[in-house]
Amino acid sequence: MGGSQSREDLELSDSDTEGQEEEETEEEENYQDVSNETPEKSSSTGRNRPKTPSSLDEVESKLKALKLKYPSTTTRTQQSPNSNFKNGVKLYLHIGGNTPKAKWVSSEKLTSYSFIKTSKINAQDEEEDSESESEGVSWWVLKVSTKIRAKVAVEMQLKTLKEQRRVDFVADGVWAIKFFSDEDYKVFNSKYQECLFENTFGYESNEANKVKVYGKDFVGWANPEKADDSMWEDAEDDFLKSPGSVTPVRGNQDLQEEFEEAANGGIQSLALGALDNSFLVGNSGIQVVKNFSHGIHGKGAYVNFGSGNHRSASNSVHSTPKKALLMRAETNMLLMSPMNEGKLHSTGLHQLDIETGKIITEWRFEKGGTDITMRDIANDSKGAQLDPSGSTFLGLDDNRLCRWDMRDRHGIVQNLATANTPVLNWTQGHQFSRGTNFQCFASTGDGSIVVGSRDGKIRLYSGNSMRQAKTAFPGLGSPITHVDVTFDGKWILGTTDTYLILICTLFTDKDGKMKTGFNGRMGNRIAAPRLLKLTPLDSHLAGVNNKFQKAQFSWVTENGKQERHLVATAGKFSAIWNFQQVKNGSHECYRNQEGLKSCYCYKVVLKDDSIVDSRFMHDKFAVSDSPEAPLVIATPMKVSSFSISSRR
């Protein structure tokens, strides 16, 4: 799984000849893939691709052998068309989509770009000076020729390729710009980053405003070259020493589909178990499936939400649950449904007895005699669902973080047969006055809590106090829609619509002891985060619903074991990263990068329909010839299991 899935990180060859017609001089790019692999489509073996030149030198030597009109690199630099043409560039377009005929073609051999500040992003005929400001709210826009006019934002998925003096991006299609000199490339990227900062945060890009946005302790986030990356290296050494790393992570690991089954329809989410069963949560009920060492399959019981299997008609699950939480050694499941369609908040939840298939009660969220809402629930810790006596769980709302108890205030199990809509007991937590805008959360193996917010901030709370965060990482401008954390609490994975953010929580305290940000204040020795992204091409090919969702680490519930992979869903893609590779600062993906390090080396599973959930099974299901437990991928109508094997 070590190879890059980028089908666009390649040399764009220029093979113009004098006197040829325009259609004959279309410049196309043959694809080069480091891992020599393609996205896997369910039940298919992938696509064949033509053999490609491996370097610009090879391209040039082949063209020279054809005796084409081909000036030297030095001549091109000295006599570049750009020398007499402001912001001159070559523009390329990717055509053919996800087919064997896909290729890059030359859109314009010589054109220009400009950054314009305007309030009319989509206006095509507006002429404004790039330094002028329109009245009212205005944004920086990138304009290339008359074909591209796009707001400078992370949604462009801009990727830099310094060695090729090239940038790729999405703007109603996938485009590439090539520059005529290193200086031209540098000027463009510098201006782009300034415009991106201003569009994202509303401040002019300068050092003072970066400190205002990120805070003085997080200077490495604004200027990664100044960051202390030693923690990434220390963590890598620690990983290699851990018992779970005995099996080496090989560069030739591959995904193999083991099972695929049609579901009863309308799968919304997966609730994977670490024991005998897992569960497909759908529109009308829950399908029980069996856990095996190569995945999940074999339909068992089906719990129908509308079958009357609940205490009273008023206690039925009134809409599709948006959250399913296993508890009590996976014999019970908590189901939380939103009050209204399109809203995540809920006033209570249902408790399902899995063994009988019946909803045994409906719980109500209440604090101080007043009904309140929750937007998310989570287990007390990574392995809490395996505790047969568990009665508590965590709750999150926009401005609330708490722990709920299904026992009464005296610790006695409530008599559900006589209770009139039992009330959950708020045992611990805090209701913040305003402004936190919590979105999602997760817990570590020892019960510490990480919370993601709408403003992009990620806060760390110890298991003992929910009133004040021990550490608060600044946002990069995009809301955190999902968050996960490793069992040991050393790594956090945040999901945004366009990228994943991986954060190291380790730091060394004043006594020289290594701690995590959950149990101490990190000070200013904070490592810069790393970003995980799809290439512009893959982001475009993932489909209209191509936002990242539910990024997860692989699943371990034992001290000393280390998560090995990360998986996220984007449209029809599930993307899998090798965790050890992402942490390796000398990895080829990071060479010649500017700004925060971004990893584009991932494996892709491509499905015919949008994917609703992708998760690794529990570590116990990893077999001897595989370094990882099976990966389960669900679309609305099917569920598939993939094993990670080593190809020979």
In 3D, which of 631, 627, 630 has the Cα closest to residue 646? 627
User: How many CB atoms within 10 Å of residue 125?
Assistant: 6
The predicted pLDDT at position 523 comes to 74
> CA of 404: how far to CAs of 27, 301, 451, in Å?
62, 29, 17
Given a contact cutoff of 8 angstroms between Cβ atoms, the answer to whether 148 and 175 are in contact is: yes
Give the position of tokens 């369609």: 341
Burial of residue 509 (CB within 10 Å: 0-12, 13-18, 19+) is middle
In this prediction, the residues of the chain whose per-residue pLDDT falls under 50 are: 1-6, 9-11, 15-57, 59-60, 63, 67-79, 125-134, 237-252, 308-316, 411-412, 416-418, 647-648
DSSP string of 47-70, one letter each residue: --------SHHHHHHHHHHTT---
The model's pLDDT over 491-503, given as tens digits with 9 standing for 90+, comes to: 999 999 999 999 9
Given a contact cutoff of 8 angstroms between Cβ atoms, the answer to whether 67 and 18 are in contact is: no
In 3D, which of 171, 1, 156, 37 has the Cα closest to residue 92? 171
The predicted pLDDT at position 260 comes to 86
The model's pLDDT over 517-571, given as tens digits with 9 standing for 90+, comes to: 998 888 777 889 999 999 999 999 987 788 999 999 999 988 888 899 999 999 9
CA 637 to chain centre: 23
The predicted pLDDT at position 364 comes to 92
For residue 491, the one-letter residue type is: W
The predicted pLDDT at position 79 comes to 46
Burial of residue 464 (CB within 10 Å: 0-12, 13-18, 19+) is exposed
Give me 530's structure tokens.
């790393």
Integer-rounded Cα Rg, in Å, for the chain is: 26
Residue 126's H or E segment, with its range, is none
The predicted pLDDT at position 521 comes to 85
Residues 520 and 509: their CA atoms lie apart, in Å, by: 8
